[in-house]
Amino acid sequence: MLANSISATPWGIDARAVEVEVDVQGGLPQVQIVGLPDTAVRESRERVRAAIKNCGFEMPARSVTINLAPADLRKQGNHLDLAIAVALLAAYGHLSPETLQGRILCGELGLDGTIRSVRGGLAIADLGHRMGCREVLLPSPNAAEAAALGSVPVVPLDSLAQAVEHLLGNQPLEPTIHRHLAPENPEVAPDLAEVRGQDTAKRALEIAAAGGHNLLMVGPPGSGKTMLARRLPGLLPELTLAESIAVTKVYSIADHQPPSGLLRHRPFRSPHTGISTAGLIGGGSHPRPGEVTLAHTGVLFLDELPEFRRDTLESLRQPLEEGHVTVVRAQARLTFPARFALVASLNPCPCGHLGDPRGQCRCSPLAVERYRSRISGPLLDRIDLHVEVPAITLDDLKKRPTESTAEVAQRVAEARERQARRFPTTAATPVNAALSPDQVREHCTPDASGQQLLERAFDALGLSARAHQRILKVARTLADLAGREQVQSAQIAEAIQYREMDTRMVGNR
């Protein structure tokens, strides 16, 4: 007898439909799986057979062929167990094949018939919505996340026996009620008021949050670079519903998402300096999202920037410029979102005390040059804000706390609202850092005095065309923070200041 069911397999940050066809015939007892299965899928025949028997169903010895269509799509992961099991039960006559139509079934089976979680629940629900399915059957731990999409009923399952009773209509299960947002994180975010001194760096942090700009901080050890970076997410507005769905889909497919609905807070990723290019950008034999995608809509913090491998740093060029990463393999071309704010830090020299009045630098000019040359000029050119973070003095530690995260976040939110009003029909949340050249010409043109100042700086500092564009974007953000419609010379002058250190670092090579 022939029966089929529909399941899904991960594909980038999405899911691809897989039709499971089961044919049971007389002959030598065997179970054969065809259709480009990976090792986890091939091993499913043992899990499925044990689960069916331990749930009390008879499966006489027959010749069984299981085909996974389309045949040219590589199937991976543990998603197909449940669909294979119910198709087998239908082929053996325990279920009517019609009950499987219009349903997507995903889940890993334990030997006792329990159904375990899979990754990518939200992507599977999205696939079910696009296919017009009447139900998506998923493990209970994935149901809350998948149901948050709200576009297709998601039925939570705990065991194979429970799935069969639901399909037969004997004990139908209620779909999970969706929640658009997960509960608030009980952890208290670090407050900007805890950072003493460093007024210039705090100002740059506010600008980075308001316009989505990249930030580089240079200073000796203990000056507060990491403290500042970890307070940037608190300045950013909460995720919109569209952003929350996009981020949750990424974390779900990467198996980092707890089963509590959509993520609410912007991600903060801080990978180790030993990370590989594939770990940072994404890839592998079955391409998975990297750190730049896990930081989508949030912050990617690279501490001790020169300690990362140079080829790994150079791979950041595409996501910093385009907001996405394209991974090409022999049989696949996948695009991962990667619109994030890069925050990087480095010491002024290998020992960290160059220019530090409290410490003596013993690094030779050649050692300083070699240290700084680990970061290429093109990568520095893509960072909008370059600030020096000097060593903290005792007087700084005695100062009263300055503005809190909530006060600065309010100004950031107002600046973001001005940007949103500028582009009311844009699907993604607009930020000045992502403006196109045409939008820069339309919205970032300074007044006459600002234009003259920019022209003089272009020649004096030897700026590139990209640096020219980024100065205008930063100036637009400064105008938004000041509540001004027109970019003026004051904003241009401040934006230029954040490029001077970049010019010195490149020029000293």
Question: What residues does 327 pair with on adjacent strands?
Answer: 334
pLDDT higher than 70, residue 507:
no
182 or 309: which carries more pLDDT confidence?
Answer: 309
pLDDT higher than 60, residue 362:
yes
Burial class of residue 494 in the structure, from the number of CB atoms within 10 Å of its CB (0-12 exposed, 13-18 middle, 19+ buried): middle
Query: CA distances (Å), 408 to each of 158, 301, 390, 414, 415, in order?
Result: 46, 20, 22, 10, 11
pLDDT score for 181: 53
pLDDT score for 429: 62
Q: What is the mean pLDDT of residues 38-42?
A: 91
pLDDT score for 106: 97
Nearest to 15 by CA among 114, 149, 141: 149
Confidence of residue 12 (pLDDT cuts 50, 70, 90): confident
pLDDT higher than 70, residue 103:
yes
Confidence of residue 286 (pLDDT cuts 50, 70, 90): confident
- In the chain, the percentage of residues whose pLDDT exceeds 70 is 94
pLDDT higher than 50, residue 160:
yes
Query: CA distances (Å), 368 to each of 310, 345, 351, 388, in order?
Result: 16, 16, 9, 16
Q: What is the mean pLDDT of residues 167-194?
A: 76
pTM higher than the cut 0.85? yes
Nearest to 503 by CA among 463, 475, 469, 468: 463
Q: What is the mean pLDDT of residues 203-210?
A: 96
Q: What is the mean pLDDT of residues 6-10?
A: 95
Q: What is the mean pLDDT of residues 215-233?
A: 93
Confidence of residue 151 (pLDDT cuts 50, 70, 90): confident
399 or 371: which carries more pLDDT confidence?
Answer: 371
pLDDT score for 258: 57
pLDDT tens sequence across 228-264: 999 999 999 988 888 888 999 999 888 776 556 788 8
Q: What is the mean pLDDT of residues 438-448?
A: 92
Q: What is the mean pLDDT of residues 19-35?
A: 93
Confidence of residue 508 (pLDDT cuts 50, 70, 90): very low
Nearest to 469 by CA among 341, 331, 321, 343: 321
Cis amide linkage into residue 390, ω under 30° from 0: no
Tokens 């010749």: give the residue. 63
- Counting every residue written for the chain, the total comes to 509
pLDDT tens sequence across 116-148: 999 999 999 999 999 999 999 999 999 988 988
DSSP 3-state percent helix, strand, coil across the chain (nearest 5): 45, 20, 40
Going by their DSSP bridges, the two strands 135-139 and 103-105 should be labelled as parallel
Confidence of residue 503 (pLDDT cuts 50, 70, 90): low
The two structure tokens encoding residue 254: 């990467």
Q: What is the mean pLDDT of residues 155-183?
A: 86
- Taken in order 99, 103, 108, 114, the sign of the CA dihedral is negative
Q: What is the mean pLDDT of residues 389-412?
A: 86
Indicate the Cα dihedral angle 75, 77, 79, 82, nearest 10°. 90
pLDDT tens sequence across 448-479: 999 999 999 998 888 889 999 999 999 999 99
- In the chain, the percentage of residues whose pLDDT exceeds 90 is 69
Q: CA 456, CA 464: separation in Å to the nearest integer?
A: 13
Which range among 157-166, 269-278, 355-364, 370-379 shows the weakest confidence by mean pLDDT? 355-364
- Tell me the one-letter amino acid at 332: A
pLDDT score for 186: 47
Which range among 102-111, 177-186, 343-352 shows the weakest confidence by mean pLDDT? 177-186
pLDDT tens sequence across 471-498: 999 999 999 999 999 999 999 999 999 9
Nearest to 505 by CA among 397, 270, 344, 318: 344
Which stretch, 188-202, 290-304, 325-339, 426-440, has highest mean pLDDT? Answer: 290-304
C-beta separation of 364 from 323 below 8 A: no
The two structure tokens encoding residue 65: 């062929």
pLDDT score for 400: 78
- Read out DSSP for 421-473? HHSTT-SSPP-GGG--HHHHHHH--B-HHHHHHHHHHHHHHT--HHHHHHHHH
Confidence of residue 190 (pLDDT cuts 50, 70, 90): confident
